[in-house]
Chains A and B, each alone.
Chain A
Amino acid sequence: MLDDFMIRATLAGVGVACAAAPLGCFVVWRRMAYFGDATAHAAILGVALSLALQMSIFAGAMAVALVMALAVTHLAGRGYAMDTLLGVLAHSALAFGLVAVSFLSGIRIDLMAYLFGDILAVSRLDLMVIWGGAALVVALIVWRWSALLTSTLSEELAYASGLDPRREQLILTVSLAITVAVAIKVVGVLLIAAMLIIPAAAARGLARTPEAMAVIAAMIGAFAAIAGLRAAYLFDTPAGPSIVCVAAIVFAALNLIGWRSQRRA
Protein backbone atom coordinates (compact mmCIF):
# COMPACT_ATOMS: atom_id res chain seq x y z
CA MET A 1 0.00 0.00 0.00
CA LEU A 2 2.88 2.37 0.84
CA ASP A 3 4.20 1.81 -2.67
CA ASP A 4 1.69 4.26 -4.02
CA PHE A 5 3.19 7.76 -3.91
CA MET A 6 -0.26 9.31 -3.48
CA ILE A 7 -0.91 7.26 -0.37
CA ARG A 8 2.50 8.16 1.06
CA ALA A 9 1.83 11.82 0.29
CA THR A 10 -1.60 11.69 1.92
CA LEU A 11 -0.26 10.05 5.04
CA ALA A 12 2.53 12.64 5.23
CA GLY A 13 0.04 15.49 4.87
CA VAL A 14 -2.30 14.09 7.52
CA GLY A 15 0.64 13.54 9.89
CA VAL A 16 1.80 17.15 9.59
CA ALA A 17 -1.78 18.43 9.96
CA CYS A 18 -2.28 16.46 13.18
CA ALA A 19 0.79 18.02 14.80
CA ALA A 20 0.37 21.48 13.31
CA ALA A 21 -3.27 21.97 14.33
CA PRO A 22 -3.05 21.74 18.15
CA LEU A 23 0.27 23.61 18.09
CA GLY A 24 -1.36 26.15 15.79
CA CYS A 25 -4.07 26.76 18.39
CA PHE A 26 -1.41 27.94 20.84
CA VAL A 27 0.25 29.99 18.12
CA VAL A 28 -3.10 31.72 17.52
CA TRP A 29 -4.01 32.13 21.21
CA ARG A 30 -0.62 33.52 22.14
CA ARG A 31 -0.42 35.71 19.02
CA MET A 32 2.73 34.01 17.86
CA ALA A 33 1.72 33.77 14.19
CA TYR A 34 4.69 35.74 13.02
CA PHE A 35 6.92 33.73 15.33
CA GLY A 36 5.94 30.57 13.49
CA ASP A 37 6.67 32.26 10.20
CA ALA A 38 10.10 33.39 11.36
CA THR A 39 11.05 29.93 12.61
CA ALA A 40 9.99 28.43 9.30
CA HIS A 41 11.91 30.96 7.21
CA ALA A 42 15.04 30.29 9.21
CA ALA A 43 14.76 26.63 8.29
CA ILE A 44 15.91 27.34 4.71
CA LEU A 45 19.30 28.26 6.17
CA GLY A 46 19.22 24.89 7.90
CA VAL A 47 18.49 23.20 4.57
CA ALA A 48 21.49 24.92 2.96
CA LEU A 49 23.77 23.97 5.84
CA SER A 50 22.71 20.35 5.82
CA LEU A 51 23.28 20.11 2.08
CA ALA A 52 26.74 21.65 2.46
CA LEU A 53 27.63 19.37 5.36
CA GLN A 54 25.91 16.40 3.74
CA MET A 55 23.78 15.67 6.74
CA SER A 56 20.08 15.01 7.13
CA ILE A 57 17.91 17.90 5.98
CA PHE A 58 15.52 17.17 8.80
CA ALA A 59 18.21 17.52 11.46
CA GLY A 60 19.72 20.66 9.91
CA ALA A 61 16.39 22.41 9.48
CA MET A 62 15.35 21.50 13.00
CA ALA A 63 18.62 22.70 14.53
CA VAL A 64 18.48 26.09 12.82
CA ALA A 65 14.76 26.48 13.53
CA LEU A 66 15.43 25.73 17.17
CA VAL A 67 18.34 28.18 17.42
CA MET A 68 16.18 30.80 15.73
CA ALA A 69 13.23 30.23 18.05
CA LEU A 70 15.42 30.27 21.16
CA ALA A 71 17.21 33.42 19.98
CA VAL A 72 13.93 35.22 19.45
CA THR A 73 12.60 34.11 22.84
CA HIS A 74 15.80 35.23 24.49
CA LEU A 75 16.04 38.59 22.74
CA ALA A 76 12.37 39.52 23.10
CA GLY A 77 11.78 42.46 25.37
CA ARG A 78 15.34 43.82 25.14
CA GLY A 79 14.71 47.06 23.36
CA TYR A 80 13.04 45.92 20.15
CA ALA A 81 9.39 45.11 19.65
CA MET A 82 8.75 41.45 18.93
CA ASP A 83 7.62 41.99 15.33
CA THR A 84 10.69 44.13 14.53
CA LEU A 85 12.97 41.49 15.99
CA LEU A 86 11.24 38.73 14.04
CA GLY A 87 11.35 40.77 10.86
CA VAL A 88 15.10 41.24 11.21
CA LEU A 89 15.94 37.66 12.18
CA ALA A 90 13.51 35.78 9.95
CA HIS A 91 14.28 37.55 6.72
CA SER A 92 18.00 37.66 7.44
CA ALA A 93 17.99 33.92 7.98
CA LEU A 94 15.99 33.39 4.79
CA ALA A 95 18.33 35.64 2.80
CA PHE A 96 21.47 34.02 4.21
CA GLY A 97 19.92 30.65 3.50
CA LEU A 98 19.21 31.53 -0.13
CA VAL A 99 22.72 32.94 -0.58
CA ALA A 100 24.25 29.89 1.08
CA VAL A 101 22.35 27.60 -1.29
CA SER A 102 23.84 29.45 -4.28
CA PHE A 103 27.37 28.60 -3.09
CA LEU A 104 26.64 24.91 -3.22
CA SER A 105 28.09 24.09 -6.62
CA GLY A 106 28.11 20.54 -7.81
CA ILE A 107 24.84 19.71 -6.12
CA ARG A 108 21.79 20.44 -8.18
CA ILE A 109 19.25 21.83 -5.80
CA ASP A 110 15.67 22.36 -6.60
CA LEU A 111 15.06 25.30 -4.31
CA MET A 112 11.36 25.26 -5.10
CA ALA A 113 11.10 21.87 -3.40
CA TYR A 114 12.14 23.42 -0.10
CA LEU A 115 10.24 26.67 -0.46
CA PHE A 116 6.95 25.06 -1.45
CA GLY A 117 7.38 21.44 -0.45
CA ASP A 118 7.68 18.27 -2.47
CA ILE A 119 5.08 16.10 -0.92
CA LEU A 120 4.76 13.75 -3.89
CA ALA A 121 8.39 12.71 -3.41
CA VAL A 122 7.89 11.58 0.19
CA SER A 123 9.77 8.31 0.76
CA ARG A 124 9.06 5.62 3.33
CA LEU A 125 11.89 7.00 5.45
CA ASP A 126 10.49 10.55 5.18
CA LEU A 127 7.14 9.18 6.23
CA MET A 128 8.67 7.63 9.32
CA VAL A 129 10.43 10.87 10.22
CA ILE A 130 7.25 12.90 9.66
CA TRP A 131 5.07 10.60 11.76
CA GLY A 132 7.74 10.25 14.42
CA GLY A 133 8.10 14.03 14.70
CA ALA A 134 4.36 14.61 14.61
CA ALA A 135 3.76 11.99 17.30
CA LEU A 136 6.42 13.60 19.47
CA VAL A 137 4.82 17.04 19.11
CA VAL A 138 1.32 15.73 19.86
CA ALA A 139 2.64 13.79 22.87
CA LEU A 140 4.43 16.89 24.21
CA ILE A 141 1.31 19.03 23.84
CA VAL A 142 -1.04 16.45 25.36
CA TRP A 143 1.38 15.90 28.26
CA ARG A 144 1.73 19.62 29.04
CA TRP A 145 -1.77 20.62 27.94
CA SER A 146 -3.16 22.14 31.10
CA ALA A 147 0.16 23.76 32.03
CA LEU A 148 0.44 25.26 28.52
CA LEU A 149 -3.11 26.50 28.68
CA THR A 150 -2.64 28.06 32.12
CA SER A 151 0.56 29.81 31.04
CA THR A 152 -1.19 31.06 27.92
CA LEU A 153 -4.03 32.56 29.97
CA SER A 154 -1.87 34.20 32.62
CA GLU A 155 1.78 33.97 33.58
CA GLU A 156 1.01 34.91 37.19
CA LEU A 157 -1.72 32.30 37.45
CA ALA A 158 0.78 29.71 36.25
CA TYR A 159 3.39 30.76 38.82
CA ALA A 160 0.79 30.73 41.60
CA SER A 161 -0.13 27.16 40.60
CA GLY A 162 3.49 26.10 40.87
CA LEU A 163 4.18 26.05 37.12
CA ASP A 164 7.05 27.73 35.33
CA PRO A 165 5.68 29.58 32.26
CA ARG A 166 9.17 29.86 30.77
CA ARG A 167 9.41 26.10 30.68
CA GLU A 168 6.06 25.87 28.91
CA GLN A 169 7.20 28.51 26.42
CA LEU A 170 10.29 26.39 25.76
CA ILE A 171 8.13 23.33 25.11
CA LEU A 172 6.12 25.28 22.53
CA THR A 173 9.31 26.58 20.95
CA VAL A 174 10.78 23.07 20.63
CA SER A 175 7.49 21.72 19.27
CA LEU A 176 7.46 24.50 16.71
CA ALA A 177 10.98 23.66 15.55
CA ILE A 178 10.10 19.97 15.19
CA THR A 179 6.91 20.79 13.28
CA VAL A 180 8.76 23.13 10.94
CA ALA A 181 11.38 20.48 10.25
CA VAL A 182 8.87 17.74 9.42
CA ALA A 183 6.61 20.05 7.42
CA ILE A 184 9.30 21.29 5.01
CA LYS A 185 8.85 18.29 2.75
CA VAL A 186 5.06 18.63 2.83
CA VAL A 187 4.25 22.31 2.36
CA GLY A 188 7.69 23.96 2.25
CA VAL A 189 9.05 26.72 4.47
CA LEU A 190 6.91 29.48 3.00
CA LEU A 191 3.59 27.81 3.76
CA ILE A 192 4.23 26.12 7.13
CA ALA A 193 2.71 29.02 9.04
CA ALA A 194 -0.46 28.54 7.00
CA MET A 195 -0.78 24.95 8.20
CA LEU A 196 -0.39 26.16 11.76
CA ILE A 197 -2.78 29.05 11.67
CA ILE A 198 -5.53 28.47 9.12
CA PRO A 199 -7.01 25.23 10.55
CA ALA A 200 -6.90 26.67 14.09
CA ALA A 201 -8.53 29.91 12.98
CA ALA A 202 -11.17 27.99 11.03
CA ALA A 203 -11.97 25.86 14.09
CA ARG A 204 -12.50 28.87 16.37
CA GLY A 205 -16.15 29.45 15.49
CA LEU A 206 -17.09 25.81 15.99
CA ALA A 207 -15.54 25.31 19.42
CA ARG A 208 -16.66 26.13 22.95
CA THR A 209 -13.60 24.79 24.74
CA PRO A 210 -9.87 24.86 23.95
CA GLU A 211 -9.76 21.07 23.63
CA ALA A 212 -12.57 21.06 21.10
CA MET A 213 -10.79 23.75 19.09
CA ALA A 214 -7.60 21.68 18.92
CA VAL A 215 -9.45 18.53 17.82
CA ILE A 216 -11.57 20.36 15.23
CA ALA A 217 -8.46 22.12 13.92
CA ALA A 218 -6.74 18.76 13.49
CA MET A 219 -9.75 17.44 11.57
CA ILE A 220 -9.85 20.50 9.32
CA GLY A 221 -6.10 20.21 8.73
CA ALA A 222 -6.34 16.53 7.88
CA PHE A 223 -9.27 17.19 5.54
CA ALA A 224 -7.30 19.98 3.82
CA ALA A 225 -4.36 17.61 3.32
CA ILE A 226 -6.52 14.86 1.80
CA ALA A 227 -8.70 17.11 -0.34
CA GLY A 228 -5.78 19.32 -1.36
CA LEU A 229 -3.75 16.36 -2.61
CA ARG A 230 -6.75 14.99 -4.46
CA ALA A 231 -7.27 18.39 -6.11
CA ALA A 232 -3.58 18.63 -6.98
CA TYR A 233 -3.83 15.22 -8.66
CA LEU A 234 -6.99 16.06 -10.57
CA PHE A 235 -6.06 19.57 -11.72
CA ASP A 236 -2.30 19.06 -11.91
CA THR A 237 -1.60 21.89 -9.44
CA PRO A 238 1.32 22.12 -6.96
CA ALA A 239 0.50 19.92 -3.96
CA GLY A 240 1.59 22.06 -0.99
CA PRO A 241 -0.16 25.25 -2.10
CA SER A 242 -3.27 23.21 -3.02
CA ILE A 243 -3.49 21.92 0.57
CA VAL A 244 -3.26 25.45 1.93
CA CYS A 245 -5.90 26.61 -0.58
CA VAL A 246 -8.36 23.99 0.66
CA ALA A 247 -7.71 25.04 4.27
CA ALA A 248 -8.31 28.66 3.30
CA ILE A 249 -11.56 27.77 1.54
CA VAL A 250 -12.75 25.87 4.63
CA PHE A 251 -11.86 28.91 6.75
CA ALA A 252 -13.82 31.24 4.45
CA ALA A 253 -16.81 28.89 4.19
CA LEU A 254 -17.09 28.41 7.97
CA ASN A 255 -16.87 32.14 8.53
CA LEU A 256 -19.51 32.80 5.90
CA ILE A 257 -21.85 30.25 7.50
CA GLY A 258 -21.16 31.67 10.96
CA TRP A 259 -21.82 35.19 9.74
CA ARG A 260 -25.09 34.23 8.07
CA SER A 261 -26.42 32.29 11.07
CA GLN A 262 -25.48 35.20 13.31
CA ARG A 263 -27.50 37.57 11.12
CA ARG A 264 -30.51 35.28 11.23
CA ALA A 265 -30.34 34.91 15.02
Chain B
Amino acid sequence: MSLINVKNLSVAYGANTVLHNVDLHLQPGEIVTIVGPNGSGKTSLLRAIIGATKPASGEITLKRGLKIGYVPQRLHIDQTLPITVERFMRLTDPVSQANCQAALETAGVPDLLKRQMSLLSGGQFQRVLLARALINGPDVLLLDEATQGLDQPGSAAFYRQIEAVRRDTGCAILMISHELHVVMSASDRVICLNGHVCCEGAPAVVASAPEYRALFGTGTGGALALYRHDHDHDHDHAHHHEAAE
Protein backbone atom coordinates (compact mmCIF):
# COMPACT_ATOMS: atom_id res chain seq x y z
CA MET B 1 0.00 0.00 0.00
CA SER B 2 1.26 3.49 -0.71
CA LEU B 3 2.52 5.66 2.12
CA ILE B 4 1.00 8.83 0.71
CA ASN B 5 -2.01 8.87 -1.55
CA VAL B 6 -3.08 12.17 -3.07
CA LYS B 7 -6.24 12.02 -5.17
CA ASN B 8 -7.66 14.77 -7.30
CA LEU B 9 -6.16 17.46 -5.08
CA SER B 10 -6.89 21.11 -5.76
CA VAL B 11 -5.48 23.92 -3.67
CA ALA B 12 -6.56 27.54 -3.88
CA TYR B 13 -5.55 30.76 -2.16
CA GLY B 14 -8.60 32.96 -2.43
CA ALA B 15 -9.60 33.08 -6.07
CA ASN B 16 -6.19 31.88 -7.19
CA THR B 17 -6.14 28.15 -7.81
CA VAL B 18 -2.56 26.93 -7.63
CA LEU B 19 -3.10 23.18 -7.97
CA HIS B 20 -5.64 21.37 -10.16
CA ASN B 21 -6.60 17.72 -9.82
CA VAL B 22 -3.21 16.47 -8.75
CA ASP B 23 -2.68 12.75 -8.17
CA LEU B 24 0.38 11.46 -6.38
CA HIS B 25 1.30 8.13 -4.81
CA LEU B 26 4.41 7.35 -2.87
CA GLN B 27 5.50 3.75 -2.37
CA PRO B 28 7.79 2.58 0.46
CA GLY B 29 11.48 3.11 -0.28
CA GLU B 30 10.90 5.26 -3.37
CA ILE B 31 12.68 8.52 -4.22
CA VAL B 32 10.25 10.80 -6.01
CA THR B 33 11.16 14.30 -7.07
CA ILE B 34 8.77 17.09 -7.94
CA VAL B 35 10.13 19.60 -10.44
CA GLY B 36 8.40 22.64 -11.81
CA PRO B 37 8.85 26.35 -12.37
CA ASN B 38 8.38 28.96 -9.65
CA GLY B 39 4.72 29.31 -8.77
CA SER B 40 3.87 25.86 -10.11
CA GLY B 41 2.42 24.76 -6.77
CA LYS B 42 5.27 22.50 -5.63
CA THR B 43 5.42 23.93 -2.13
CA SER B 44 1.61 24.08 -1.89
CA LEU B 45 1.50 20.37 -2.65
CA LEU B 46 3.97 19.60 0.13
CA ARG B 47 2.18 21.97 2.53
CA ALA B 48 -1.09 20.20 1.80
CA ILE B 49 0.50 16.84 2.55
CA ILE B 50 1.76 17.98 5.98
CA GLY B 51 -1.59 19.62 6.73
CA ALA B 52 -0.42 23.23 6.62
CA THR B 53 -2.74 24.11 3.74
CA LYS B 54 -6.33 22.94 3.47
CA PRO B 55 -7.23 21.42 0.09
CA ALA B 56 -10.04 23.10 -1.86
CA SER B 57 -11.08 19.66 -3.04
CA GLY B 58 -9.72 16.12 -3.35
CA GLU B 59 -8.23 13.91 -0.67
CA ILE B 60 -4.91 13.16 0.90
CA THR B 61 -4.61 9.81 2.64
CA LEU B 62 -1.58 8.98 4.70
CA LYS B 63 -0.87 5.41 5.73
CA ARG B 64 -2.01 4.81 9.30
CA GLY B 65 0.70 5.79 11.77
CA LEU B 66 2.92 7.20 9.03
CA LYS B 67 5.97 8.91 10.49
CA ILE B 68 6.99 11.94 8.44
CA GLY B 69 10.39 13.60 8.64
CA TYR B 70 10.17 17.11 7.24
CA VAL B 71 13.08 19.22 5.99
CA PRO B 72 11.88 22.78 5.38
CA GLN B 73 13.01 25.02 2.56
CA ARG B 74 14.71 27.55 4.70
CA LEU B 75 14.62 27.98 8.40
CA HIS B 76 15.56 31.28 9.88
CA ILE B 77 16.64 31.15 13.50
CA ASP B 78 16.57 34.62 14.98
CA GLN B 79 19.91 35.81 16.37
CA THR B 80 18.22 36.38 19.71
CA LEU B 81 17.27 32.70 20.08
CA PRO B 82 20.10 30.66 21.60
CA ILE B 83 19.81 26.98 20.75
CA THR B 84 22.35 24.19 20.49
CA VAL B 85 22.20 21.53 17.81
CA GLU B 86 21.41 18.97 20.50
CA ARG B 87 18.45 20.98 21.81
CA PHE B 88 17.21 21.56 18.28
CA MET B 89 17.27 17.83 17.59
CA ARG B 90 15.00 17.29 20.59
CA LEU B 91 12.55 19.95 19.52
CA THR B 92 9.47 17.78 19.18
CA ASP B 93 10.48 14.32 20.40
CA PRO B 94 12.23 13.43 23.63
CA VAL B 95 15.27 11.52 22.35
CA SER B 96 18.48 10.37 23.98
CA GLN B 97 21.83 11.99 23.30
CA ALA B 98 23.00 8.74 21.65
CA ASN B 99 20.08 8.94 19.19
CA CYS B 100 20.87 12.59 18.43
CA GLN B 101 24.46 11.63 17.75
CA ALA B 102 23.45 8.69 15.55
CA ALA B 103 21.11 10.87 13.47
CA LEU B 104 23.84 13.48 13.03
CA GLU B 105 26.20 10.75 11.84
CA THR B 106 23.61 9.49 9.36
CA ALA B 107 23.29 13.04 8.05
CA GLY B 108 27.07 13.34 7.71
CA VAL B 109 27.75 15.88 10.47
CA PRO B 110 28.96 13.90 13.51
CA ASP B 111 30.79 16.73 15.32
CA LEU B 112 28.12 19.36 15.76
CA LEU B 113 26.15 18.19 18.81
CA LYS B 114 27.20 21.01 21.16
CA ARG B 115 27.41 23.81 18.61
CA GLN B 116 25.07 26.81 18.42
CA MET B 117 22.68 26.63 15.47
CA SER B 118 23.28 30.28 14.56
CA LEU B 119 27.01 29.61 14.04
CA LEU B 120 26.62 26.77 11.52
CA SER B 121 27.45 27.12 7.83
CA GLY B 122 24.67 26.73 5.28
CA GLY B 123 25.62 23.15 4.45
CA GLN B 124 25.94 22.15 8.12
CA PHE B 125 22.62 23.77 8.88
CA GLN B 126 20.78 21.83 6.16
CA ARG B 127 22.35 18.59 7.35
CA VAL B 128 21.24 19.26 10.91
CA LEU B 129 17.71 19.82 9.56
CA LEU B 130 18.05 16.47 7.78
CA ALA B 131 19.32 14.81 10.98
CA ARG B 132 16.37 16.21 12.94
CA ALA B 133 13.96 14.85 10.36
CA LEU B 134 15.61 11.42 10.61
CA ILE B 135 15.63 11.20 14.37
CA ASN B 136 12.44 9.26 14.99
CA GLY B 137 13.01 6.81 12.14
CA PRO B 138 10.52 8.24 9.62
CA ASP B 139 8.79 6.15 6.93
CA VAL B 140 9.01 9.08 4.59
CA LEU B 141 11.20 12.16 4.27
CA LEU B 142 9.72 15.30 2.75
CA LEU B 143 12.26 17.82 1.47
CA ASP B 144 11.26 21.24 0.20
CA GLU B 145 14.18 22.53 -1.84
CA ALA B 146 16.49 21.51 0.94
CA THR B 147 19.62 22.58 -0.92
CA GLN B 148 18.65 26.18 -1.44
CA GLY B 149 21.60 28.38 -0.60
CA LEU B 150 24.14 25.59 -1.05
CA ASP B 151 26.74 25.75 -3.84
CA GLN B 152 26.80 23.04 -6.48
CA PRO B 153 29.28 20.65 -4.83
CA GLY B 154 27.43 21.22 -1.56
CA SER B 155 24.05 20.30 -2.97
CA ALA B 156 25.46 17.35 -4.93
CA ALA B 157 26.93 16.02 -1.68
CA PHE B 158 23.60 16.62 0.05
CA TYR B 159 21.71 14.56 -2.53
CA ARG B 160 24.29 11.75 -2.27
CA GLN B 161 23.56 11.81 1.46
CA ILE B 162 19.85 11.48 0.73
CA GLU B 163 20.51 8.43 -1.41
CA ALA B 164 22.65 6.96 1.36
CA VAL B 165 19.84 7.58 3.85
CA ARG B 166 17.40 5.72 1.62
CA ARG B 167 19.88 2.87 1.20
CA ASP B 168 20.57 2.60 4.95
CA THR B 169 17.13 3.22 6.42
CA GLY B 170 14.82 2.27 3.55
CA CYS B 171 12.64 5.33 4.06
CA ALA B 172 10.78 6.80 1.11
CA ILE B 173 11.71 10.28 -0.06
CA LEU B 174 9.51 12.91 -1.64
CA MET B 175 11.36 16.06 -2.55
CA ILE B 176 11.06 19.29 -4.43
CA SER B 177 14.08 20.43 -6.33
CA HIS B 178 15.25 23.08 -8.70
CA GLU B 179 18.41 21.24 -9.55
CA LEU B 180 17.34 19.20 -12.52
CA HIS B 181 20.71 17.65 -13.34
CA VAL B 182 21.15 16.22 -9.84
CA VAL B 183 17.53 15.27 -9.47
CA MET B 184 17.41 13.33 -12.68
CA SER B 185 20.20 11.03 -11.59
CA ALA B 186 19.07 10.55 -8.01
CA SER B 187 15.33 9.85 -8.40
CA ASP B 188 13.33 6.75 -9.15
CA ARG B 189 10.46 8.83 -10.40
CA VAL B 190 10.04 12.46 -11.41
CA ILE B 191 6.81 14.42 -11.35
CA CYS B 192 6.76 17.52 -13.48
CA LEU B 193 4.32 20.00 -12.01
CA ASN B 194 2.89 23.22 -13.36
CA GLY B 195 -0.43 23.76 -11.61
CA HIS B 196 -1.26 20.24 -12.68
CA VAL B 197 0.85 17.14 -13.29
CA CYS B 198 2.38 17.77 -16.73
CA CYS B 199 4.08 14.43 -16.92
CA GLU B 200 5.62 11.86 -14.65
CA GLY B 201 7.65 8.69 -14.73
CA ALA B 202 11.23 7.47 -14.71
CA PRO B 203 13.75 10.32 -15.09
CA ALA B 204 14.71 9.28 -18.63
CA VAL B 205 11.07 9.11 -19.72
CA VAL B 206 10.22 12.50 -18.23
CA ALA B 207 13.33 14.14 -19.64
CA SER B 208 12.26 13.21 -23.16
CA ALA B 209 8.58 14.03 -22.70
CA PRO B 210 7.40 16.99 -24.77
CA GLU B 211 5.63 18.53 -21.76
CA TYR B 212 8.86 18.53 -19.81
CA ARG B 213 10.79 20.00 -22.70
CA ALA B 214 8.20 22.70 -23.09
CA LEU B 215 8.88 23.70 -19.48
CA PHE B 216 12.59 23.21 -19.16
CA GLY B 217 14.01 23.01 -22.69
CA THR B 218 16.52 20.36 -23.67
CA GLY B 219 20.08 19.47 -22.80
CA THR B 220 22.26 21.50 -20.47
CA GLY B 221 20.20 24.63 -21.00
CA GLY B 222 17.44 22.98 -19.02
CA ALA B 223 18.39 24.36 -15.66
CA LEU B 224 18.50 27.90 -17.03
CA ALA B 225 15.28 27.55 -18.95
CA LEU B 226 13.57 27.09 -15.61
CA TYR B 227 13.64 30.80 -15.04
CA ARG B 228 12.37 31.91 -18.40
CA HIS B 229 9.94 29.23 -19.42
CA ASP B 230 6.58 30.05 -20.87
CA HIS B 231 3.80 30.03 -18.29
CA ASP B 232 0.94 29.68 -20.72
CA HIS B 233 2.27 26.73 -22.63
CA ASP B 234 -0.26 24.25 -23.85
CA HIS B 235 -0.37 20.50 -23.82
CA ASP B 236 -2.10 18.12 -26.19
CA HIS B 237 -4.31 16.73 -23.46
CA ALA B 238 -7.23 18.77 -22.34
CA HIS B 239 -6.23 20.13 -18.96
CA HIS B 240 -7.85 23.38 -18.10
CA HIS B 241 -5.43 25.41 -16.11
CA GLU B 242 -4.71 28.95 -15.02
CA ALA B 243 -1.03 29.37 -14.41
CA ALA B 244 -0.34 30.35 -10.83
CA GLU B 245 1.65 33.50 -10.41
**Residues on A facing B (Cβ under 8 Å):** 28-31, 146, 149-150, 152-157, 159-163, 200-201, 204, 207-213
Chain A residue nearest to B116 in the complex (CB): A208
Total contacting residues, chain B, CB less than 8 A:
23
B98 within 8 A of A: no
Supplied contacts A153-B75, A157-B92, 4 more A-B pairs, CB within 8 Å: A150-B91, A159-B51, A204-B80, A209-B83
Q: A204 touching B82 by the CB < 8 A rule?
A: yes
Contact of A157 among B75, B81, B83 (CB under 8 A): B75
Chain B residue nearest to A159 in the complex (CB): B52
Contact of A208 among B68, B77, B82 (CB under 8 A): B82
B232 within 8 A of A: no
B8 to chain A, nearest CB (A): 22
Q: B82 touching A212 by the CB < 8 A rule?
A: yes
CB-defined contacts of A201 to chain B, threshold 8 Å: 80
**CA gap between A207 and B116 in the complex, in Å:** 11
Q: What does the 1/0 interface line of B42-71 toward A look like (CB < 8 Å)?
A: 000001001110000000000000001010
Q: A159-B52, A160-B50, A210-B87 are in contact. Are A153 and B82 (CB under 8 A)?
A: no
Chain B residue nearest to A211 in the complex (CB): B87
Contact of A210 among B50, B73, B83 (CB under 8 A): B83
Q: A209 touching B142 by the CB < 8 A rule?
A: no
B67 to chain A, nearest CB (A): 11
Contact of A156 among B83, B84, B144 (CB under 8 A): B144
Q: A156 touching B80 by the CB < 8 A rule?
A: no
Q: What does the 1/0 interface line of B70-114 toward A look like (CB < 8 Å)?
A: 101101011011111001100110000000000000000000000
Q: B84 touching A160 by the CB < 8 A rule?
A: no
CB-defined contacts of A150 to chain B, threshold 8 Å: 91-92
Q: B72 touching A156 by the CB < 8 A rule?
A: yes
Q: B70 touching A157 by the CB < 8 A rule?
A: yes
Contact of B47 among A156, A207, A208 (CB under 8 A): A156
Chain B residue nearest to A152 in the complex (CB): B81
CB-defined contacts of B75 to chain A, threshold 8 Å: 153-154, 157
B143 to chain A, nearest CB (A): 11
CB-defined contacts of A212 to chain B, threshold 8 Å: 82
Q: B50 touching A159 by the CB < 8 A rule?
A: yes
**CA gap between A204 and B52 in the complex, in Å:** 31
CB-defined contacts of B81 to chain A, threshold 8 Å: 29, 152-153, 210, 213
Chain A residue nearest to B52 in the complex (CB): A159
24 cross-chain CB contacts under 8 A:
A29-B80, A29-B81, A146-B92, A150-B91, A153-B91, A154-B72, A154-B75, A156-B50, A156-B52, A157-B70, A157-B75, A157-B92, A159-B47, A159-B52, A160-B51, A160-B52, A204-B82, A208-B84, A208-B116, A209-B82, A209-B83, A209-B84, A210-B83, A212-B82
**CA gap between A134 and B78 in the complex, in Å:** 26
CB-defined contacts of A211 to chain B, threshold 8 Å: 87
CB-defined contacts of B68 to chain A, threshold 8 Å: 160
Q: A150-B91, A208-B116 are in contact. Are A157 and B82 (CB under 8 A)?
A: no
B3 to chain A, nearest CB (A): 14
**CA gap between A208 and B87 in the complex, in Å:** 10
Of all A-B residue pairs in the complex, the 9 with the closest CB atoms, nearest first, are A160-B70, A159-B52, A161-B92, A160-B50, A29-B81, A207-B82, A156-B72, A159-B50, A28-B80
**CA gap between A60 and B40 in the complex, in Å:** 49
B116 to chain A, nearest CB (A): 7
CB-defined contacts of B87 to chain A, threshold 8 Å: 209-211
**CA gap between A212 and B86 in the complex, in Å:** 14
CB-defined contacts of B70 to chain A, threshold 8 Å: 156-157, 160-161
Chain B residue nearest to A29 in the complex (CB): B81
CB-defined contacts of B73 to chain A, threshold 8 Å: 156
CB-defined contacts of B72 to chain A, threshold 8 Å: 154, 156-157
**CA gap between A150 and B90 in the complex, in Å:** 10
